[in-house]
Amino acid sequence: MTQNSPLRPQPRFPEPDTEPFWEATKNRELKYQTCNSCSEVIFYPRAHCPSCGSLETSWNTSKGDGAVYTYSVILQSRHPAFKDLGPYALAYVDLDEGFRIMSNIVNVADPVNDISCGMRVKLNWHDQGEGEIALPMFEPA
């Protein structure tokens, strides 16, 4: 499912380490890397493997299924891009492919009571404008 959300701060390009990740979001693909030398799963995007230092990495596409590792509910924000969201959940999600991503949990009636650690979630894309990046967010599976 794709939804529109308020325009949030965007990455600035060129940004060689993360640009392939952000370009993939335009196609609703959640990308992560693996090391060609030691097979380590790598996320956040970077030029080298943090485990063995290799510069040889491959890009992969996540299925977008995972579980909430931990979360916090933000009750208010003064930043213009977030001020109208009301209470919203910021979470770390453990993806089934073996990496953890910080994102939002969306499509819950009450983020204080409807989210729990270990809860299964699935990917939900939020558009940032036509031709712009989309943000990977998660909703209950």
Residues 123 and 100 in one domain: yes
Residues 68 and 35 in one domain: no
pTM for the predicted model, two decimal places: 0.88
Percent of the chain scoring above 90 in pLDDT:
74
Residues 78 and 21 in one domain: no
CA–chain centroid gap for 122, Å, is 11
The boundaries of the domain holding residue 23 are: 13-61
Nearest of 83, 84, 87, 85 to residue 72 by alpha carbon: 87
Please, which pLDDT band fits residue 4 given cuts at 50, 70 and 90? low
User: What tens digit of pLDDT does each residue of 122-134 get?
Assistant: 999 998 877 788 9
Residues 48 and 87 in one domain: no
User: What tens digit of pLDDT does each residue of 33-90 get?
Assistant: 999 999 999 999 999 999 999 999 999 999 999 999 999 999 887 778 777 778 999 9
